[in-house]
Amino acid sequence: MTFMSCIHLNTDFAMGGVTKALSLFDHPDLREFARSRVIPIDPRRVTAPRLDAEIVINHATPNWASLPFYFMLRLRHRRSYLVHIEHTYTASWEAAHVPDTGRFRAMLKLMYANFDQIVAVSKAQREWLLSTGVVPAAKIRVIHPWSGTRGLDKVSPLEIDPTQPLKIGAIGRFDEAKGFDTLIRSMGLLPRSKFELTLAGAGPDEDLFRALARGVPNVRFAGKVDDVARFYEQCDLIVVPSRREAFGLVAAEARMAGRAVLVSDCDGLPEQVLGCGIVDDCSRPGSLARAIEEAARADLARMGRKAQLSMAGAETSRVSAWLALFVQARRALGECQPDLDTGETLLAADC
């Protein structure tokens, strides 16, 4: 079988879900089908590069200023299969940032028209995109992101020590979207003897978060964490209080590590915690503090075990989903027989 060439276009290489998710394409099963490489781009330039690739996957966030770039990308790659992964836009993002939904959705419709396939990172995001009318159902599929196990599946099972404060963890980029400011304020409403929070990460709002934490003795900062498995192992509960979250890799990582999660009721987060966590109103310090107190009364160890079971086979399912998309791309490019529908079929075919 001849390898397909795949180029990923990206603008954001900071700590975060997009960068983590790129690691999936180094999986041996995907490399047996398509060889991937990443190219940094600046979509503000009108002239898109000429790329020697059968599949081009865009990870950058579109806007009006970038549309000429993507029009040119399509024109220069008529014989390539173009895929856009929507990492950013959600119903919550639109509600928070868009005063003119008609104009915003017109931009998305023009953008998505340049691509053969749109990948949503959660079911909620897909349903929202379909409801807006910016993309037809036949052109959009859901593939959850994956950041690798990184030892998370080897984390020791949770054992709650009732004589110690509940150890709460939160990790991610320090910016407004993550809701860490509300989490810090909520800790000020909870007794230090029963609850303590460790915040891991970095970002533009770090000074603000540290200022909010002054006088809140049950909050500490861990900085950037390289050993994520050890971080989760030291936590009893992971809180993801995001204001906007297309998927929420932190919630998936916590589940893999066997830790229960408390997440906000927005976008792709609720669909991750069925039976193995709590979905609640995390928008205000008072409501978040009450949700944390509710979580403390739950059987977190049992939730953690269910969480870990819920992630069994997650990597395989994501690899299979991308193999299926690659097969669709090859079929569309006329390089395979038309009856190949899945990655498994492709591997069994003499193609």
Asked if residue 134 has pLDDT above 60, the reply is: yes
Q: What is the pLDDT of residue 14?
A: 60
Residue 347 confidence (pLDDT) above 60:
no
Q: What integer pLDDT is reported at residue 11 of this predicted model?
A: 87
In CATH, the architecture of 152-310 is: 3-Layer(aba) Sandwich (3.40)
**Quick one: CATH architecture of 4-148+313-348?**
3-Layer(aba) Sandwich (3.40)
Domains 4-148+313-348 and 152-310 share a fold: yes
pLDDT score of 222: 94
Give just the sign of the alpha carbon dihedral 29, 30, 35, 40: negative
pLDDT digit string, tens, across residues 211-245: 999 989 999 999 999 899 999 999 999 999 999 99
pLDDT digits (tens, 9 = 90+) for 250-278: 999 999 999 999 999 999 999 988 878 99
Q: What is the pLDDT of residue 16?
A: 56
Q: What's the confidence (pLDDT) of residue 340?
A: 35
Collapse the DSSP code of 85 into the 3-class scheme (helix H, G, I; strand E, B; otherwise coil) and give the result: strand
Q: What per-residue confidence (pLDDT) applies to 342?
A: 39
pLDDT in tens, 182-202: 999 999 999 999 999 999 999
> Which residues contact residue 77 at a Cβ distance below 8 angstroms, ignoring those fewer than 6 apart?
50, 51, 53, 56
pLDDT, tens digit (0-9, with 9 covering 90-100), for 17-69: 577 778 889 889 998 889 999 999 999 887 899 999 999 999 999 999 999 99
pLDDT tens string 198-215? 999 999 999 999 999 998
pLDDT recorded at residue 201: 94
The tokens for 154 are: 């080897």
- Average pLDDT value for the chain: 90
Separation CA 294–CA 296 (nearest Å)? 5
- Read off the pLDDT of residues 294-335 as tens digits, 9 standing for 90 and up: 999 999 999 999 999 999 999 999 999 999 999 999 999 985
Choice between 104 and 337, residue whose per-residue pLDDT is larger? 104
Instruction: Give pLDDT tens digits for 280-292.
Output: 999 999 999 999 9
**Cα–Cα distance, 32 to 35 (Å, whole number):** 8
Host H or E run for residue 200: strand 195-200
- Flag whether pLDDT at 93 surpasses 90: yes
Locate the domains of the chain by residue range: 4-148+313-348, 152-310
For 7, the enclosing helix (H) or strand (E) is strand 4-10
> CA-to-CA distance for 37 and 115, rounded, in angstroms?
19
Q: Which two tokens stand for residue 250?
A: 């932190």
Q: Is the dihedral of CA 72, 86, 226, 220 positive or negative?
A: positive
Percent of the chain exceeding pLDDT 90 equals 80
Q: Which position has the higher pLDDT, 144 or 335?
A: 144
Q: CA–CA separation, 325 vs 328, rounded Å?
A: 5
What is the rounded CA–CA span in Å between residue 282 and residue 286? 9
What pLDDT, on the 0 to 100 scale, is given for residue 82? 98
Which of residues 339 and 310 earns the better pLDDT score?
310
175 Cα distance to chain centroid:
16
- Give the full edge-to-edge strand order of the sheet including 261-264: 219-223, 195-200, 166-171, 237-240, 261-264, 277-280
Residues 10, 161: Cα–Cα separation, whole Å: 44
Q: What is the pLDDT of residue 339?
A: 37
Per-residue pLDDT tens for 150-179?
899 999 999 988 899 999 999 999 999 999
pLDDT at 1: 56
Residue 344 identity: E
pLDDT at 127 over 70: yes
pTM (two decimals): 0.88
Q: Is the pLDDT of residue 2 over 80?
A: no
Backbone phi, then psi, for 271, in 5-degree steps? -70, -10
